[in-house]
Structure 1
Amino acid sequence: MNFDYTEEQELLRTSLRAYLRDHYSFEQRRQWIATTEGRNSKVWQDFADRLGILGLAVAEDDGGIGGDAVSCMVVMEELGRSLVVEPYLESSLLGVRILQRSGNSAARALLAGVVDGSEIIVPALNEAASRFDLHKVQGRAQSVTEGFLIDASKIVVRGAPWASRFIVSAILNDELALFLVDASQAGLTINAYPCIDGGRAGDLAIVAATVNSDALLATGSEAETLLAEVQDLASAMLAAESLGVMARMHEDTVEYTRQRRQFGQPIANFQALQHRMVDMYMQLEMARSATLSAVLRQGEEVAERALAASAAKATINEACQFVGQNAVQLHGGMGMTDELAVSHYFKRATAIETQYGSRDYHLLRHADIRRSA
Structure 2
Amino acid sequence: MNFQHTEDRRMLADTLNRFVSEQYGFETRDRIACSAQGFSTELWGRFAELGMIGALFDEANGGYGGGGFDIAVVFESLGRGLVVEPFLDTLIVGRAVAKSGNDAQKALLGELIDGSRIVALAHGEPDSHYELARVTTRAQRGGNGHGAWQLSGAKAVVQHGEHASAFLVSARTSAADEAEDGITLFLVPRDAAGVSVRGYRKIDGGRAAEVTFDNVTLGDDAVLGVAGEGFATLEYAIGCGVLALCSEAVGAMDVAKDHTLDYLRTRKQFGVPIGSFQALQHRMADLLLEIEQARSAVINAAAALEGERWVRERALSAAKYSIGRIGALVAEECIQLHGGIGMTWELPLAHYAKRLVMIDHQLGDEDHHLERFVALGAG
Q: Does 1:185 align with 2:192?
A: yes
Q: Which residue identity does 1:153 align to in structure 2? A: A
In structure 1, how many angstroms separate the alpha carbons of the residues matched to 2:40 and 2:101? 33
| Contact 1:237/1:295, CA 8 A, preserved across alignment | no
Q: Where does residue 160 of structure 1 map in the other structure?
A: 161
- Residue 363 of structure 2 aligns to a residue whose secondary structure is coil
| Contact 2:185/2:227, CA 8 A, preserved across alignment | no
Q: Does 1:101 align with 2:99?
A: yes
Q: Where does residue 67 of structure 2 map in the other structure?
A: 68
Could you tell me the TM-score, scaled by structure 1's length?
A: 0.96
Q: Which residue identity does 1:208 align to in structure 2? A: N
In structure 2, how many angstroms separate the alpha carbons of the residues matched to 1:158 and 1:86? 10
Q: Which residue identity does 2:101 align to in structure 1? A: G
| Contact 1:58/1:111, CA 8 A, preserved across alignment | no
Q: Which residue identity does 2:47 align to in structure 1? A: F
Q: What does 1:244-263 correspond to in 2, within 5 Å? A: 244-263=251-270
Which structure 1 residue ranges, 5 or more long, are not aligned?
none
| Aligned residues: CA RMSD | 1.4
Which structure 2 residue ranges, 5 or more long, are not aligned?
176-181
Q: Does 1:30 align with 2:18?
A: no
Q: Does 1:324 align with 2:340?
A: no
In structure 2, how many angstroms separate the alpha carbons of the residues matched to 1:260 and 1:270? 12
- Can you list the C-alpha shifts for 1:297-319, whole angstroms capped at 9, x where unaligned? 00111111111011111011000
- Residue 226 of structure 1 aligns to a residue whose secondary structure is helix
Q: Which residue identity does 1:139 align to in structure 2? A: T
In structure 2, how many angstroms separate the alpha carbons of the residues matched to 1:266 and 1:368? 48
- Residue 225 of structure 2 aligns to a residue whose secondary structure is strand
Q: Which residue identity does 1:58 align to in structure 2? A: F
In structure 2, how many angstroms separate the alpha carbons of the residues matched to 1:230 and 1:63? 17
Q: Where does residue 84 of structure 1 map in the other structure?
A: 83
Report how many aligned residue pairs link the two structures.
370
In structure 2, how many angstroms separate the alpha carbons of the residues matched to 1:2 and 1:107? 37
- Can you list the C-alpha shifts for 1:229-271, whole angstroms capped at 9, x where unaligned? 1332222221111000111111100001111111111111111
Moved more, 28-37 or 265-274: 28-37
Q: Which residue identity does 1:30 align to in structure 2? A: D
- Residue 16 of structure 2 aligns to a residue whose secondary structure is helix
In structure 2, how many angstroms separate the alpha carbons of the residues matched to 1:180 and 1:315? 33
Q: What does 1:223-234 correspond to in 2, within 5 Å? A: 223-234=230-241
In structure 1, how many angstroms separate the alpha carbons of the residues matched to 2:66 and 2:138? 36
Could you tell me the TM-score, scaled by structure 2's length?
A: 0.94
Q: Where does residue 240 of structure 1 map in the other structure?
A: 247
- Residue 37 of structure 2 aligns to a residue whose secondary structure is coil
Per-residue deviation, 1:2: 6.0
- Residue 56 of structure 1 aligns to a residue whose secondary structure is helix
In structure 2, how many angstroms separate the alpha carbons of the residues matched to 1:209 and 1:318? 41
Q: Where does residue 14 of structure 1 map in the other structure?
A: 14
In structure 1, how many angstroms separate the alpha carbons of the residues matched to 2:210 and 2:52? 28
- Residue 169 of structure 1 aligns to a residue whose secondary structure is strand
In structure 1, how many angstroms separate the alpha carbons of the residues matched to 2:242 and 2:377? 18
Per-residue deviation, 1:59: 3.3
